[in-house]
Amino acid sequence: MQYYRITNGAGVVCDTLPSGYLEFYAGLSEASKKVKIFEIEYRIGIYRKQDVTIYVATCDGDLIKSTRLFFKQVEFLFNCMAGIQKIHSEIAADSRVQANRMIHNLVTLNAHNLQEVYSIIPQEVMEDKKRGGWKDRITECVASDSYDASLSLVRIAKNCLKMKVEISVYNTLSNGDVKLALKRHSIHRILMNVFYVFFPDFTDNEVVVKVGECNEFIECDYETLQVALYHLAENAVKYIRRKSELVVNVSKNSFGQVEVLFRMNSLQIKPEELELIFDEGYSGYYSRKILKSGHGIGLARVKELLGYNKATIEVIPDFSTAAPFSTMQDLIYQDNVFRILFARSSVAVK
């Protein structure tokens, strides 16, 4: 086993040294030496070239015995430094892009929440708390238009859920940090908890949403499944045809598996795109055409998160229904079914 810590003028490039090992390098004057670390014999060494410093520790028997072989390993690392630093820079740049994207999205969602609040309660009322009766004035503002106030609350709830989704996606992209808590849940309840926050968006598009009743329970991680269904509902809002229906049905098939079907008339998915749309970074032809393609993360994340819950997803298109949208002849819509299938082992006893 070999461990390394590589630094340059900008900081740490790579560090696989276990916690507590670095203290054994204190006072190391020679290039390398043998030491006992937690009752295990190691050869450790420090080497410097220009602004690069490499700390090495190994418990490999041949490298402990031979300083020549040990130094060859170090020389190999120095020869690879240009490539290592390039990879490190690319990863760091990509991490900054992901972090900046998340921060931008969270700031935007927070601004939308504030707009929703101020659309019901004027900003001057919110900020003027020195005068007495400010709570009564806020109550009057809400009571004067309770319908719009309720819609604003739903939109705020949607934005808060979206914030959770953004953070979940960032954690998964940056370090694969997915923590699962498998418990028994009603699939209908999870679906409705997601769809409630999207009903205003579907209403704006004059889309009727029909979620069928069901009594099926599954063993799943609520958080990751909710995020997956959020992405799927968000895609439906973006790509479903106006003045149409979204029908969601849940049933148990003859194999004891729970099926969730999302039926809709939405932008055409071409035959060659059926597998690609679940690949990260890919956006369909028509979604790019209407400038709603995003970063190609949504369906890829749906597939990944469903996998954590022993579920798969596929799209079943009906190409015979393909037809142009009446006012935009260059946009083709067709009947598409998104089918989620939960493995029999994840189906819970009622």
At residue 328, φ and ψ (nearest 5 deg) are: -135, 90
Q: Which of 28, 50, 79 is the last residue of a domain?
A: 79
What's the CA gap between 61 and 48, in Å, rounded? 24
pLDDT tens sequence across 160-182: 888 887 787 677 666 666 678 88
Contact 14, 58 (CB under 8 A): no
Query: Same structural domain for residues 292 and 211?
Result: yes
Of 348, 186, 344, the closest CA to residue 255 belongs to: 344
What is the arithmetic mean of pLDDT over 80-101? 81
pLDDT tens sequence across 245-286: 999 999 999 999 999 999 999 998 888 888 888 887 777 777
Please state the length of the chain: 350
Contact 315, 338 (CB under 8 A): yes
Q: How confident is the model at residue 131 (pLDDT cuts 50, 70, 90)?
A: low
Q: Which residue has the higher pLDDT, 272 or 292?
A: 272
Q: CA geometry: angle at 274 spanning 95 and 257, to 5°? A: 95
Q: Which residue has the higher pLDDT, 174 or 219?
A: 219
Query: Is residue 21 predicted with pLDDT exceeding 70?
Result: yes
β-pairing, 328-342 vs 258-267, is antiparallel
pLDDT tens sequence across 145-164: 888 888 888 888 888 888 88
Predicted pLDDT of residue 32: 83
What's the CA gap between 192 and 289, in Å, rounded? 31
Query: Same structural domain for residues 255 and 164?
Result: no
Contact 42, 58 (CB under 8 A): yes
Query: Same structural domain for residues 221 and 250?
Result: yes
Question: Of the spans 102-106, 212-216, 310-314, which averages the highest pLDDT?
Answer: 310-314
Predicted pLDDT of residue 261: 96
Query: Same structural domain for residues 9 and 127?
Result: no
CATH number of residue 210's parent domain: 3.30.565.10
Query: Is residue 313 predicted with pLDDT exceeding 90?
Result: yes
Contact 213, 173 (CB under 8 A): no
Predicted pLDDT of residue 243: 92
Cα dist. 333→159, 172, 270, 286 in Å? 28, 33, 11, 9
Q: Which of 45, 79, 113 is the last residue of a domain?
A: 79
**Scanning the structure block, which residue is given the tokens 């970074």?**
281
Query: Is residue 225 predicted with pLDDT exceeding 60?
Result: yes
Predicted pLDDT of residue 296: 46
Query: Same structural domain for residues 198 and 332?
Result: yes
Q: Which residue has the higher pLDDT, 281 or 14?
A: 14
What is the arithmetic mean of pLDDT over 188-208? 90
Predicted pLDDT of residue 39: 87
pLDDT tens sequence across 45-88: 888 888 888 889 999 988 888 888 988 888 888 888 888 888 88
Q: How many CA atoms lie within 13 A of 152 on its CB side?
A: 17
Query: Is residue 210 predicted with pLDDT exceeding 90?
Result: yes
Query: Same structural domain for residues 166 and 205?
Result: no
Mean pLDDT, the chain, as a whole number? 85
CATH number of residue 71's parent domain: 3.40.1840
Domain that holds residue 231: 180-348
**Model-level pTM?**
0.67
Residue 148 lies in a domain: yes
The DSSP annotation for 218-262 comes to EEEEHHHHHHHHHHHHHHHHHHBPTT-EEEEEEEE-TTS-EEEEE
Query: Same structural domain for residues 243 and 313?
Result: yes
At residue 34, φ and ψ (nearest 5 deg) are: -90, 135
The DSSP annotation for 179-202 comes to ---EEEEEHHHHHHHHHGGGHHHH
Residue 85 lies in a domain: no
What is the arithmetic mean of pLDDT over 90-95? 80
Q: Which residue has the higher pLDDT, 54 or 96?
A: 54
Query: Is residue 97 predicted with pLDDT exceeding 70?
Result: yes
What is the arithmetic mean of pLDDT over 294-309? 78
Query: Is residue 188 predicted with pLDDT exceeding 90?
Result: yes
